[in-house]
Structure 1
Amino acid sequence: MIKIQNSKRRSRTADSVSILGALALVALLQTWGVCGGHEDREQPKQPARADGNALCYTCHLGLQYEAITAGHAMPGVMCMSCHGPSVEHMHDEMQVTKPDRLFGRGQVNDMCSACHEGHTDVARVEAFRDEWLGKTRPNGRVITKTSICTDCHGTHNYIVESRPSAVAESPWIPLFNRSDLQGWTASDAAGWSVKAARLTAVPDPSRKRTSLVTEDEYADFQLSITFRAHGPVQAWASLRQGKDTGGPSVTIGDSGMSPGRPGSIWLSEKVPALANLREDTVDRVAWNTLLVEARQNQYSTWLNGEEIGRVRLDGPARGRIAVHLAAYSGNQDSSLQISEIQIKRLESPAEKKNESTSGDAP
């Protein structure tokens, strides 16, 4: 039995979504003054969406828990507010192009003062230095003559202490170590390779599919996969796969031969349960991050920070994670690249009950 719960009722059409997205992007670029005088600049195939920090978290997943990011996000100051649209940075497949604006140590105070006007009050700043010079602040930082704002208030390497307890108690575990296939069993070793810290799969016409399966089993979990497809590929991840059963699956790469874009959930390979029909959620040029949550019989998916939906499915309570690439994917130039696979175990009600029972035992 399948019960579907869509995250949102969307009456808008794909065309209206594209138009609204384009208008939002133009307004944002005009705000930063990058529209005029750049008509000859080659535009990326897909523009960045102005949806907060979600697109940045696609690659920089940990930033959402860092003090300087989380603290500024609450009043509405986003990554773009300081670093600019950074469209080239987001679409650089070699990951070497820097954001539009970066700040050296000598530029930080001026940048902060653009919003925090109190920092421009020379008398207040000098009084603060006189009071704390050579002393340790409550946050453990020592004030020196060369101290700058981010020495105390955090940089992108300063993790916020109030991270949700669930994350602190059950951290993300990398399933891909970026050097080899340790922890996985490959059905076709030649079809999978690790180069430049990326997992690459190419279709094998002689096989129906090529697969990677984890050695460990998982019950309730969150799974994060950062991927990029070159050409049309048909790829998916099996969730709670058994020895003789496939379990539900989620689309990673879509070839256009089946309904649903990345983030779609399937009861089996031929029975769709939840289809992602929104093209605006997929980046066809750069990296995408797919997040899946399996909690008891409920499966939820997010793509690049956008919730796709959730569905209840009957199936195995635990099993292995598997990544598959179909042999009929595109052409000989098609491939799937994965830069990161992470999993976080979630405590199930059964485990909680067992813990409470064992705690009461004499």
Structure 2
Amino acid sequence: MANKSHLKYYAILLLFLTFGNSGMAQDLEKTSMYSVFNGKTLESWKIPDGGEWSVKNGKIIAKNNPEKKGSILWTDESYNDFVVQLDFKMISGNIDSGIFMRGEDKQNPQIQIGISGSLKRDMTGSPYVPGASYPVEAKNINKLLRLKGWNTIKALAVNNKYTVWLNGEEVMNYTMDNANLHGPVGLQLHPGREMEIHFRKIVLGKL
């Protein structure tokens, strides 16, 4: 579990969200958000071997090593229902990253950031499910995604429903059958790539 003395700030976030095609409104009142990145170290995270992850000037830097090794940076803590928000910036190379929602297996989606290796095009904001590829595609990404600047992505998991916002606009919602409803959050550095991506301002709220 994260060391609370290193959680630098708290914020109050009022969310009015709509899930799926059912139009069922969920009023998530005043969700308390806390930092899971203190801007200085990777405390609160399980650091992979290999040196692909580092911290500099308040940013987490993910960069493939010469062997193009990839890895996943996992939170120490696991979650049930939660919302996570972070900033990301695509620095160089063929960006293929994402946010793992509740672990890595066929019962959990990964929210894509960057180019899909299978589809060979940008699928930012879309859920990737092993064995099912991308069951839905995020909307308006071409208009919203800043290729040379910072982007803010927010991803919500409530039961088996997932919603994503990019730079303040809702772009995706997806209901997954037989979802695993408990697990850690992960940031991906895809193997077999030459790429660098930065992350900052990572906050999370339990629901």
So what's the TM-score if we normalise by structure 1? 0.46
- 1:268, distance to aligned residue in structure 2 (A): 2.3
In structure 1, C-alpha distance between the alignment counterparts of 2:65 and 2:126, rounded to whole Å: 24
Partner residue in 2 for 1:313: 176
Kept in 2, the 8 Å contact 1:260–1:276? The answer is no
Corresponding residue to 1:323 among 187, 190, 195? 187
Paired residue type of 2:159:
Q
Q: Which runs of 4+ in 1 moved over 6 A?
A: 62-65
Specify the SS of the correspondent of 1:279.
helix
Compute the displacement of 1:64 (Å): 8.6
Deviation at 1:270, TM superposition (A): 5.9
**CA shift at 1:174, angstroms?**
0.7
1:291 corresponds to which of 154, 164, 179 = 154
State the SS of the aligned residue for 2:87. Answer: strand
Where does residue 144 of structure 2 map in the other structure? 281
Given residue 290 of structure 1, which amino acid in structure 2 is its aligned partner? I
Quick one: which amino acid aligns to residue 322 of structure 1?
A: G
Query: What is the Cα deviation at residue 323 of structure 1?
Result: 0.7
Q: List alignment gaps of at least 5 residues for structure 1.
A: 1-61, 66-163, 347-362
Q: Deviations over 1:287-331 (max 9, x none)?
A: 0001111000100111001111211002111100011111233x3
- Across the aligned residues of Structure 1 and Structure 2, the Cα RMSD in angstroms comes to 2.6
SS in 1 for 2:29: helix
**Bigger relative contact order, structure 1 or 2 (CA pairs below 8 A, ≥6 apart):** 2
8 A contact 2:127–2:135 mirrored in 1? yes
Residues 238, 246 of structure 1: 8 Å contact kept: no
Higher helix share: 1
Seen in structure 2, the aligned counterparts of structure 1 residues 269 and 345 have a Cα distance that, compared at 3 Å, is farther
- Identify if the C-alpha distance between structure 1 residues 269 and 327 changes in structure 2 by more than 3 Å, giving closer, same or farther: farther
* Of 51, 57, 73, the match for 1:212: 73
Shift of 1:205: 4.8
- Specify whether residues 328 and 207 from structure 1 end up closer, same or farther in structure 2 by C-alpha distance, changes over 3 A only: closer
- Do the aligned residues in 2 keep the contact of 1:239 with 1:320 (CA within 8 Å)? yes
Matched-pair contact (CA < 8 Å) for 1:236–1:324 = yes
**Residues 215-269 of structure 1, C-alpha deviation per residue, up to 9 Å, x if partnerless?**
1010001110100011231001110116x66721101232676354321112227
Structure 1 residue 280, shift from structure 2 partner: 0.8
Percent identical residues: 24
Is the partner of 2:138 in helix, strand or coil? coil
In 2, are the aligned partners of 1:228 and 1:336 still within 8 Å (CA)? yes
Counterpart of 2:53 (choices 180, 186, 192) is 192
Task: Report the AA paired with residue 288 of structure 1.
Answer: N
Letter in 2 for 1:316: N
Q: Which has the larger radius of gyration?
A: 1
Which residue does 2:130 correspond to in 1? Answer: 268
Q: Deviations over 1:104-146 (max 9, x none)?
A: xxxxxxxxxxxxxxxxxxxxxxxxxxxxxxxxxxxxxxxxxxx
Q: Which residue of the partner structure matches residue 337 of structure 1?
A: 198
Q: In the alignment, is residue 252 of structure 1 matched against residue 116 of structure 2? A: no
- The answer (yes or no) to whether the contact 2:13–2:33 under 8 Å persists in 1 is no
- Correspondence for 2:95: 233
Instruction: State the shift of 1:208 in Å.
Output: 4.7
Q: If each structure's strand is expressed as a fraction of its own residues, which one has the higher value?
A: 2
Instruction: Name the CA shift for 1:269/1:303 in 2 (closer, same or farther; >3 Å).
Output: farther
**Structure 2: which 5+ runs fail to align?**
1-10, 15-26
What do residues 125-176 of structure 1 show as CA deviations (whole Å, max 9, x unaligned)? xxxxxxxxxxxxxxxxxxxxxxxxxxxxxxxxxxxxxxx9822xx4111111
Write the mapping of 1:74-223 to structure 2, written as runs, cut at 5 A: 166-167=29-30, 170-206=31-67, 208-223=69-84
2:18 aligns with none
Residues 296 and 207 (structure 1 numbering): CA distance in 2 closer, same or farther, change over 3 Å? same
| One-letter identity of the residue aligned with 1:326 | H
